A = this chain, B = another copy of it.
């Protein structure tokens, strides 16, 4: 089924009106929303088509009609998922909008099925939470005329869409700076996947903090990881096997930090007495890791809320102020960091 047939489900879309009027989707949105920045002739043509098709505006302000947005994950098993769902649902509910949650990774045809269902339920906007989704999906959403934004805790390179991320470089700088301030001089890094921009940014923040303290970066103290606990476990073991192990480790995700803590526990080493550990994310569970984790907070729920506000602006034909937003990250100091053992 082609995009312009979406009206066959009983509701004509703005995209279809735009196609028939030979104007852009934002132009139709402006007419629908009664804005003045449309030429009288275009307005007349669009309004005529809207009437002929019996277009019903699914306004988010009207209490008698339920608007919907789609929130799409690659994988609901992602550690970020629940926090983002929480933020999106809260902001959407506040705007009288229902949140349809989907996951599409690893299921053959799932993206296609989701796109079909999206059309059928005439969803008003889409929030994609993923960095690995095919650009072809973006293109299809554009053709369909459904506004969308990407919430991207992983910070993908150069997405040509409105994107909401977190300040990863600043977070890496703060995590490493905290360890330096405690007196650590040999600080290991368990890095994230190099293909992700957030991994690069956190690594560069780590380097910048060391260099700012006049400490040369020792490449042997940087080990690879993939954000999962298993890779934190392996990375920490690799650091401990060095001739001169670090006294602290910055894991570029909370899950890798948990893996690192377990690696230390298995060797009979205590956190933070024998080794300090800092994570990145501030997932709910690290408040009660043993010990509670010092980490860099990504404001995942706030990112979700901002995504809702942005996508609702887009549905009104407005453009976001800036195509790429980074929300600030904060260091949260708990019990997994202390002065290094030789000074303790």
| A309 interfacial contact with B, CB 8 Å | no
Q: Are B10 and A56 in contact (CB under 8 A)?
A: yes
CB-contact partner of A120 in B9, B66, B102, under 8 A:
B66
Which residues 66-90 of A sit at the B interface, judged by CB distance below 8 A? 66, 68, 70, 76-77, 81-82, 85-86, 89-90
Contacts of A1 in B (CB 8 A): 64
Does residue A255 face the partner (Cβ distance < 8 Å to B)? yes
Q: A102-B99, A255-B288 are in contact. Are A93 and B113 (CB under 8 A)?
A: yes
Contact code string A120-146 (vs B, CB < 8 Å = 1, else 0): 110000000000000000000000000
- Name the distance in Å between A104's Cβ and chain B's nearest Cβ: 8
Asked if residues A9 and B64 are in contact (CB atoms below 8 Å), the reply is yes
With A9-B65, A76-B86 known as contacts, the answer to whether A102 contacts B93 (CB < 8 A) is yes
User: Cα distance A110–B93 when bound, in Å?
Assistant: 8
User: Is residue A292 within 8 Å, beta carbon to beta carbon, of the partner chain?
Assistant: yes
Query: Which of A183-191, A203-211, A256-264 sits within the interface?
Result: A256-264
Residue numbers in B under 8 Å from A255 (CB-CB): 288
- A residues near B (Cβ < 8 Å) are 1, 8-10, 56, 63-66, 68, 70, 76-77, 81-82, 85-86, 89-90, 93, 96, 98-103, 107, 110, 113-114, 116-121, 229, 255, 258-259, 261-262, 265, 283-285, 287-292
Contact partners of A66 in chain B: CB under 8 A: 9, 117-121
Q: Which of A8, A96, A262, A285 counts the most B-chain CB atoms under 10 A from its CB?
A: A285
Bound complex: CA A26 to CA B291 (Å): 54
The answer to whether A103 and B76 touch (CB under 8 A), given A64-B1, A64-B9, A290-B290, is no
Inter-chain contact A89/B64, CB cutoff 8 Å: no
Residue of B nearest to A229 (CB): B288
Which residue on chain B has the smallest CB distance to residue A258? Answer: B288
Q: How distant is A287 from chain B, measured CB to nearest CB, in Å?
A: 7
A82 touches B89 (CB 8 A): no
What's the Cα separation between A288 and B251 when bound, in Å? 15
Most B CB contacts (10 A, CB to CB) among A8, A10, A93, A292 go to: A93
* 10 pairs from A and B in contact (CB 8 Å cutoff): A66-B117, A66-B119, A81-B85, A82-B82, A82-B85, A89-B102, A98-B102, A262-B292, A289-B289, A290-B290
Whole-angstrom distance from the CB of A147 to the nearest CB of chain B?
Answer: 18
A83 to chain B, nearest CB (A): 9
Question: Is the pair B76, A98 in contact by a Cβ cutoff of 8 Å?
Answer: no
A283 CB to closest chain B CB (Å) equals 8
Bound form: Cα–Cα A114–B99 in Å? 11
Q: Which of B10, B85, B287, B290 contacts A261 (CB 8 A)?
A: B290
Q: Which residue of B lies closest to A284 (CB)?
A: B77
